[in-house]
Amino acid sequence: MNNGFNEAFSSSSPFNYEFSPGNRLIDIFPNCFSFHTLNRKSNNNVKSHLLKLNDLTLQVSSDPWSVVVVIDASIKNQVTTLISYVYNHDRPVIKIVHHTVNIITTKAKLFMIRCKIDQAIHLSNVSKILIITGSIHMARRIFDLTSHLYQAQSAAISGELREFFKRASSNSINFWDCPSNCKWLLHNTVDQETKEFNLSSVFPCKSLWNFSKKCEYDSILNNWKMSFQASDAKALLSQVLK
């Protein structure tokens, strides 16, 4: 179990070179990643999507140079729980559990994707990564060219993938959409575990993200007030108000 990301991360990094034209992953490695989304309104499309996922998973699982990562998350008792399984050929399955009480689910999911990508690319001789998640919209944030609240996390993931793609032109990462209601075997196992995981906060009234951010903002305001009281600006403002 890992609680290492139970903290407030910096959100925006609009001037990061990772997102400047010509340096973006989509500019340099357009053929090294792909997204396979699911049309959830069509039953035929869902069946076809899951059959392809079955075949692909079997192929990748039998390939010593490939990794399958299955990720899911849930919220219970104000605690966000994320669980992942990592499959790599004949190696033992790696199970990782993360939980947090003061971070919004969106950022937690993006952080989990970042952790799993980092873990997968550091396995020896890995050239292909298959990530299966019900939050594929979150994975798209990694390659989002616009400024958004989670850009700092996206920049970190982008940097890791950049090094991975540089190793060999055949290296790739593929994201596959797999909603919980599809009950696909591997993802359903992870989904059920996240829902069954029960961790109660010692101080539930203090575990909300809003409370955490309020403390942070109150601290900033108090520091600003102290600085203002000790500065010449206070005396100048008093003269102006008179």
Domain that holds residue 141: 17-203
Rounded Cα distance between 104 and 138, Å, is 13
Interval 191-215: pLDDT, tens? 888 887 666 555 454 444 444 555 5
User: Could you tell me the two tokens for 142?
Assistant: 């990694």
| Shared-domain flag, residues 123 and 104 | yes
**Predicted model pTM:** 0.70
| Shared-domain flag, residues 192 and 218 | no
85 neighbors 94 (Cβ within 8 angstroms): yes
| Number of compact structural domains in the chain | 2
| Shared-domain flag, residues 214 and 177 | no
The per-residue pLDDT for 6 is 42
Number of C-beta neighbours around residue 20 at 10 A: 10
Enclosing H/E stretch for 173: strand 172-177
| Shared-domain flag, residues 144 and 99 | yes
| Shared-domain flag, residues 162 and 241 | no
Average pLDDT (43-60) is 88
